[in-house]
Amino acid sequence: MEQPKLKPCPFCGEAPVLTMHMGYYRVECRNQFCPSRLTASANKKDIVDAWNTRLRPKKRPESEKG
């Protein structure tokens, strides 16, 4: 079966990986320092669609950075 096309992580740009654990699909970033992941979907298409449609986080203006 063909692997679904996953977009890069919206936080760090690294390639994600799709796995299955205890009957649920999980997509997570391969970058060990990036906590980005989606879990708990029994439907592969749903989890892939959810990962691929997330928005990139907004960058904070320099004036708001502490």
HSE-up (13 A, CA, CB side) for residue 15: 3
Bigger pLDDT: 66 or 23?
23
Residues 44, 19 contacting (CB under 8 angstroms): no
pLDDT in tens, 11-57: 899 999 999 988 999 999 999 898 887 776 889 999 999 999 876 65
Q: Model's pTM, two decimal places?
A: 0.70
* pLDDT score, position 57: 59
Domain boundaries, given as residue ranges, for the chain: 1-56
1 has a pLDDT exceeding 60: no
* pLDDT score, position 16: 92
